[in-house]
Structure 1
Amino acid sequence: MDRRTLAGGLGGLALVVAAVVALRTGDAPGTLKREIADGVEVVASQEPAKPANPRTRALDVDALQVAWNGSASAYEVRWNGNVQLVPTPEVELPGLDPDAETSVEVRAVSATGRRSEPLLISATPEDLYDDRWDDQLVGQVDRFDGPEALDPRKWRVQAEPECLGLRPFGQGRRIDVDCPTAAFQSNTPVRFGMPAADGATGRAVVSVAGAVESSHVRLTLLPDPWQYLEETDAQPKGSVSLDVTTQGTRIIADPDLPRTGRQITLGDSQTTGLVAGVRHRWEMRVLPDAVVALRDGVVVAYEPVAITERLVHPRIRIDGGGFLDAFGVGGVPERVVPTEVIPLERDVELPQDAVAAKLVSSVPGRQVTVSELPLTTGKVAAAQQARLVVIRKPESRPQALPRLSDRPGGMKIGAPRLHVVHEDGTKPPQPLPRKGRVLVTAEVNAIGHRGIELELDGKRIAALPTDEQGSAVPGRHEFWLDTAALGVGSSARLKLGVLPADGGEAVIAETVFALG
């Protein structure tokens, strides 16, 4: 019996083991054979349609952003001899020759790996790049592109130690956030001044990219003394936030801020939210009677409120992963205020290079109390719900921030998922009716696999190749199960195996459902 016969006879586990053995002997894994058991119907997927309506822009002089319309599982992008698979109808191509025209081919890819006809796009980065985007900013733009990109004089970070790293981006790198939540508090305040030509009294600009579908970015302007407190889900008193998800962008304001009734026309933008792996530039523009959100220079949201404070402190929060590229502010120029915030979990000695010190305590009802401490205080006693704020000399480096280590590039992927629903709409944990069919949806959130297998109570009932015309992509696969024909008992266990192209160990998802 050869390896393929053994794999077919023993199911998914044997298939993976056989593939590993084949690799060890120098052979590539064999092509997965399509097999569908009686009582199982594969929901046919449409052939991938050719992408349409191409659009290009440049956030840097050596990078192109290419977008198009389409609804495929993923897309294959080819340019300058490179090939990249992307999960959304948009891609950013860094490290290009600014003066050279770049030709791009985009093909839609189905969940089974089939390719559409190519959409052809050509553009020159320098022709699209707007080198005046930062004319309204003051001071130096922070570019998060190196191991010491987070200057402890300018930033305070609230994140797990291993949360941050550097991922490749063209010829450079960008901060990669790979944890549930990370907050970046700027030590450079924004002071509102006289309205500029666009009416803004101040602004904050952040360039970020999403990592996965659940990525979430929030840029908040905090009045004193909220910048000294930890990031929470509550909207601080007097604050305004630019809130961005993959679904879109909005402005969230403290409901106690004065409403003005100002109306602003939104721009024409096909997408307004985060995109995985593609940077966009968001501006939070503060007018005397409104706060406006712009994405790549296009107005996408606003809130008709008036910020009552003249000095605010920007904070960036990233949930669910993302890439932090650059940050800048506009308004009246302000100096960096090197600040260290120390939770008073134990007694703390006041640093000798402090130029000011404060005791900040939070109390219920969105209230914060602040008391100045004499520099001769010496030791500050531990206190619950209190933090010691130390303002240091301009040349001081308040505390060490994480040194950012390099991480590999590539698209971030998630675990596979299984969903079950009866044709009458009943879903687990409710028992599903015995009569009728059950729809099983397998979500594959990975690239580079060669197929999937579906098992029911330990027996393989479906095997589908996913690399028919090239590398496989994330996608959805649907199956109708006739539970009576399959001989399912009072409960059933479904197991999805995603088989890597290199013959490695399958990635597994499982679910259990009951039949009533």
Structure 2
Amino acid sequence: MDRRTLAGGLGGLALVVAAVVALRSGDAPGTLKKEVADGVEVVALQEPMKPANPRAQALDADALQIAWNGSASAYEVRWNGNEQLVPTPEVELPGLDPEQETQVEIRAVSAIGKRSEPLKIAAKPKDLYNGKWDDQLVGRPDKFGGPEALDPRKWRVEADPDCLGLRPFGPGRRIDVDCPMAAFQSNTPIRFGMPANDGATGRAIISVAGAVESSHVRLTLLPDPWQYLPETEAQPRGAVSLDITTQGTRIVADPALPRTGKQVTLGDAPMTGLVAGVRHRWEMRVLPDAVVALRDGVVVAYEPVAITERVVHPRIRIDGGGFLDTFGVGGVPERVVPTEVVPLDQDVEVPRDVVAAKLVKAGQDDQVTITDVPLDAGRIAAQEQARLVVIRKPESRPGALPRLVDRPGGIKTGGPRLHVMHEDGAKPPQPLPGKGRVLVTAELNDVGHRGIELELDGKRIVALPTNEQGPGVPGRHEFWLDTSKLVSAAHARLKLSVLPADGGEPVIAETVFELG
């Protein structure tokens, strides 16, 4: 392999600058100037195009969901004197006057902060809200909106308590999940009955929003006794799940369930998955011969299977973060069954105020054994893979669940990322060819920055403002490096700095590559 002499005796990959360009490091916030070193080409960005085809709906009488068509890095939404940057072509505006028409303006924003001409839409929440969405539910749906939102009579939670909080939503709050995985087991079973007008023998409805691109929500209907066992990646025997990601929605069923051949017509939905910061309402509708998924009343997926159990137990699982708003069930009315599940990793005393107790033990090949425990059994000895199930009176209140604390609002964003690729397609970790050009891609995922800086082995080669007409937004920046201006060595280090608008500490991303 041909090796070139290190410039000036410096290690790493150095940029040979024919014409020295002074790149200042002491610019005050908001005054960063675009400067590019010799041998670097900034790939031009397209002008932001005006969004098109606005659409409005309302999940509440005081909130609007606005969607539109567009492919910009981000969008700026203005209404009632407010302004918000969003990463996707959709936004939710809570806390509105139901009777007042709200004027909304939407502008596409490029990666350097340029704004397009505004798209305008006006809507009145009351005119779009369907107040009968919960008519088919049994009892009142759960609104997760306060410190005691997780009622221990109704729910069991499998999550780190510190990852659950309350996030502002209009004048109220909703549960914010900020952890790799959180599972919420309902103590209210669904009992299937006679088909309703829409053919459903039972249903579960969940209103939820994503947090980031990787958010994943799963609503599973569990047959006995799987509701007593911890959450796993495997699909329990006899279970059916509503599986929702940012890519779309699907129904996942145990392959052992009977297939029916039922055909269901899908509706016309531009999007079928989660959206960061925007609630949508999913219904898992159980028919005698199929399980159907609806998003905001539109059929988006189905599976032609028949659930063989007459009673199932809903469990919500959220991976990667999310925003839990509402949950409800429909079918034959069933009472809440306050239940506690205690792992037997140590000796446990059977409480005195219980109406039933069971010992549940998971075995191999999806085998689960259940043994009734006498109420006067006293202390139960520790056992591997076993859990003590304690069922209390309907009016009792089991042990407290996490008290939820307030958190700031806003859409969660990830950190910046750097990618390197030679124009012939070669990528690290293999050495890149010593001739031609290298493409450096900087992906920004946060909002409110004023610019970026790119360094190569400690030498700044690009300074680029991102707030041309307002705060910076998520976006992609690309730069070509001319390898004839580079000097190769063992490894080269690229450093991307995203500069906050308030002059605070920059957010850093780094990567290393080798030039052959």
Please give the TM-score of this superposition, normalised by the length of structure 2. 0.95
User: Match of 1:53, SS?
Assistant: strand
Unaligned runs of 5+ in 2: 1-20
Q: Which residue does 1:257 correspond to in 2?
A: 257
Q: What pairs with 1:214-233 in structure 2 (closer than 5 Å)?
A: 214-233=214-233
Residues 1:274 and 1:263: Cα distance change in structure 2 (over 3 Å): same
1:462 aligns with 2:462: yes
Contact in 2 for aligned 1:360/1:387 (Cα 8 Å): yes
Secondary structure at the residue paired with 2:484?
helix
Moved more, 431-440 or 255-264: 431-440
Q: How does 1:199-214 map to 2 (within 5 A)?
A: 199-214=199-214
Q: Conserved in 1, the CA contact under 8 Å of 2:187 and 2:313? A: yes
* Contact 1:38 1:486 survives alignment (8 Å): no
SS at match of 1:270: coil
Name the residue aligned to 1:128.
128
Q: How many angstroms apart in 1 are the aligned matches of 2:119 and 2:282?
A: 28
**How far apart are the structure 2 equivalents of 1:380 and 1:86?**
53
Match of 1:73 in 2: 73
State whether residues 337 and 392 of structure 2, in contact with CA within 8 Å, keep that contact through their aligned partners in structure 1: yes
Tell me if the contact between 2:77 and 2:105 (Cα under 8 Å) persists in the aligned partners: yes
State the 1:93 CA deviation.
Answer: 0.4
- SS of the aligned residue for 2:141 comes to strand
- Which residue of structure 1 lines up, in the alignment, with residue 308 of structure 2? 308
User: What SS does the aligned partner of 1:50 have?
Assistant: coil
Specify the alignment match of 1:182 in structure 2. 182
Distance 1:412 1:280 in 2: 18
Which runs of structure 2 are paired with 1:45-84 in the superposition (5 Å)? 45-84=45-84
1:348-427 matches, cutoff 5 A:
348-427=348-427
Question: Retained in 1: the 8 A contact 2:30–2:450?
Answer: no
The residue number in structure 1 matching 2:161 is 161
In 1, are the aligned partners of 2:30 and 2:501 still within 8 Å (CA)? no
* Rounded Cα–Cα distance in structure 2 between residues aligned with 1:503 and 1:59: 39
Output the amino acid matched with 2:140. Q
Alpha-carbon deviation of 1:350?
0.2
SS in 1 for 2:161: coil
Matched, 1:478 2:470: no
Instruction: Tell me, yes or no, if structure 1 residue 87 matches structure 2 residue 83.
Output: no
Aligned match of 2:293: 293
Cα drift, residue 208 of structure 1:
0.1
Residue 270 of structure 1: CA displacement? 0.1
Deviation, 1:170, is 0.4
Q: Distance in 2 between matches of 1:255 and 1:212?
A: 31
**What SS class does the counterpart of residue 126 from structure 1 fall into?**
helix
Which residue of structure 2 aligns with residue 99 of structure 1? 99
CA deviations over 1:69-124 (Å, ceiling 9, x no partner): 00000000000000000000000000000011000000000000000000000000
1:35-54 aligned at under 5 Å gives the runs 35-54=35-54
Shift of 1:394: 1.2
Return closer, same or farther for 1:430/1:354 CA change in 2, 3 Å cut-off.
same
Gaps in structure 1 of 5+ consecutive residues: 1-7, 20-28
Q: TM-score, normalised by structure 1?
A: 0.95
Per-residue Cα deviation, 1:460-501 (whole angstroms, up to 9, x for no partner): 111110000011111110111113313343321000000000
Name the counterpart of 2:343.
343
What is the one-letter code of the residue matched to 1:502? D
Q: Report the CA distance between 1:31 and its aligned residue.
A: 1.1
Aligned residues: 496
How many angstroms apart in 2 are the aligned matches of 1:139 and 1:232?
30
Q: What is the correspondence of 1:132-147 to structure 2 with a 5 Å cutoff? A: 132-147=132-147
Pick which of 282-291 and 415-424 moved more.
415-424
Report the equivalent of 1:23: none
Partner of 2:244: 244
User: Secondary structure of 1:127's match?
Assistant: helix
Q: Are the counterparts in 2 of residues 356 and 390 from structure 1 also a CA contact under 8 Å?
A: yes
Q: Find the aligned partners of 1:116 and 1:367 in 2 and give their Cα distance.
A: 60
Quote the residue 1:4 is aligned against. none
CA contact (8 A) 2:105 2:121 kept: yes
Instruction: Render the CA deviation track for 1:421-463: whole Å, top value 9, x for unaligned.
Output: 1111111111111111111110111111000000011111111
1:38, CA displacement in angstroms? Answer: 1.0
2:11 aligns with: none
Is the 8 Å Cα contact of residues 23 and 463 (structure 2) preserved in structure 1?
A: no
Aligned to 2:444: 444
Runs of 4+ in 1 over 2 A off after TM superposition: 8-11, 486-490
Q: Which amino acid aligns with 2:123?
A: A
Give the distance between the partners of 1:319 and 1:337, measured in 2 at CA. 26
Shift of 1:9: 5.6
> How far apart are 1:30 and its partner, in Å?
4.2
**Equivalent in the alignment of 1:507:** 507
Q: CA deviation at 1:10?
A: 7.3
Aligned match of 2:321: 321
Q: Report the CA distance between 1:395 and its aligned residue.
A: 1.8
Counterpart-to-counterpart distance in 1, 2:74 and 2:36: 25
Of all paired residues, the percent bearing the same amino acid is 79
CA offset at residue 201 of structure 1?
0.2
Secondary structure at 2:406's aligned position in 1? coil
**RMSD after superposition:** 1.1
Which secondary structure does the structure 1 equivalent of 2:140 belong to?
strand
Helix, strand or coil at the partner of 1:162: helix
Partners of 1:30 and 1:175 lie apart in 2 by 36
Contact 2:248 2:272 (C-alpha < 8 Å) held by counterparts:
yes
Alpha-carbon separation, structure 2, partners of 1:302 and 1:434: 53
* Structure 2 Cα separation of the partners of residues 475 and 256 of structure 1: 45
After the TM superposition, which of the residue ranges 78-87 and 434-443 deviates more from structure 2?
Answer: 434-443
d(CA) in 2 for partners of 1:75 and 1:193?
46
- For 2:347, the aligned partner's letter is D
2:234 counterpart of 1:234: yes
